[in-house]
Amino acid sequence: MDAASQQKILGYFIEEAKEHLETLEQGILELSEVVDDTERVNELFRAAHSVKGGAAMLGYTSIQKTAHRLEDAFKVFKDNTITVDETLKSLFLSAYDVLQELLEKLQSPFGLQEEEIEKIMAEADPQFSELQKYLDRLAVSDNRGAVITPEVSPPVTPAPTGSPAAPEPSFGPQVRGLLQQMLGLFRQDATPESRQQLQKLCIELAKLNKKTKSWQKLLKASHKAIANPAHRFSTLAPIVIKSIKEAADHLERNEPERISLPTDLKNLAIAQLPYILIPTEPKEAAQILNSAFSEAQLAQLVQALKHRA
């Protein structure tokens, strides 16, 4: 996989992470209201979880660890009644700032530098420890004196045969591990052997959730797209990786109904001729067209564009 494709995958991650950061920031600023709204608490939890998953897949351990810590902090709201005060908001905002700083460094011209990571994470450790301790104190204080009554579990109704099943807890880590292997293969030369290995990974991914038809359909399309020798790895990688990751996120959140087959992936699966993604930036588009077409084909393309104009 060439540098442009790797940059494209990184771009997808950063773009998605920015959206999750907005959710986290807004939720923390409105924390007093959020804690009384189960869906908004879940929204914060999901945002941190998604950033953690994307970072894990791409190997950004510092971002993964920081998002995981935030995820653990939000989990306290799911299990306890907490009265939010300004101290708690401030501690959460400090933790959020760590994640934001790491992502800003990642998208900077020099990327995440090892020395910077060590400094940021060293400073973050006591901040997260203080946040967790304060949450624990509030949880004990707010829940003291609560009357605990035994819960009677309702009868479990078996899911209808063939209906989507909630994934196993190990589903997310397994998906991320297989996607990391995919990334490694996409970085290699496109050979029949590497395509076969990628197809095997599609099969392994499909096995992780056999009952969700939309997941199976998406992996089948990925398998078919990879099999086509006309498609370059630089074209396949951004589309296949992003499509599988987004679908896996929906499954982890038990939202199988939100999985759909992206148009780009569908086109790759059914295309008989090479499928080329053209960026909107003119110079980059010109480079891709020059590498994909002969001079005669480029001349025909110019004429066709003039006609259209």
Q: What is the pLDDT of residues 226-266, one digit of tens each?
A: 999 888 898 899 899 999 999 999 898 888 999 999 998 99
Contact 198, 182 (CB under 8 A): yes
Is residue 245 in some structural domain?
Answer: yes
Same domain assignment for residues 131 and 179: no
Same domain assignment for residues 63 and 102: yes
Same domain assignment for residues 263 and 288: no
**What average pLDDT does the chain have?**
83
pLDDT at 11: 87
Is residue 229 in some structural domain?
Answer: yes
Is residue 20 in some structural domain?
Answer: yes
Res. 68: pLDDT tops 70: yes
Same domain assignment for residues 254 and 295: no
Q: Which of 218, 199, 214, 207 is nearest to 266 (CA)?
A: 218
pLDDT at 225: 93
Measured between alpha carbons, how far is residue 102 from residues 46, 55, 95, 118 in Å?
19, 11, 11, 11
Name the band, by pLDDT with cuts 50, 70 and 90, for residue 157: very low
The structure's pTM equals: 0.66
Q: Tell me what percent of the residues of the chain surpass a pLDDT of 90.
A: 52
DSSP per residue, 38-58: HHHHHHHHHHHHHHHHHHHHH
Is residue 218 in some structural domain?
Answer: yes
> How many domains, the chain?
3
Domain of 85, in residue numbers: 3-142
Q: Tell me what percent of the residues of the chain surpass a pLDDT of 70.
A: 79
Is residue 303 in some structural domain?
Answer: yes
Name the band, by pLDDT with cuts 50, 70 and 90, for residue 159: very low
pLDDT at 244: 94
pLDDT digits (tens, 9 = 90+) for 199-228: 999 999 999 999 999 999 999 999 999 999
Same domain assignment for residues 134 and 238: no
Same domain assignment for residues 34 and 77: yes
Task: Give the residue-averaged pLDDT of 278-284.
Answer: 57
Is residue 153 in some structural domain?
Answer: no
Contact 84, 31 (CB under 8 A): yes
pLDDT at 230: 86
Res. 79: pLDDT tops 70: yes
More confident residue, 106 or 144: 106
Q: Is the dihedral of CA 93, 95, 97, 100 positive or negative?
A: negative
Task: Give the residue-averaged pLDDT of 173-191.
Answer: 90
Same domain assignment for residues 182 and 265: yes
C-alpha to C-alpha distance for 133 and 112, rounded to whole angstroms: 29
* CATH code, domain with 28: 1.20.120.160
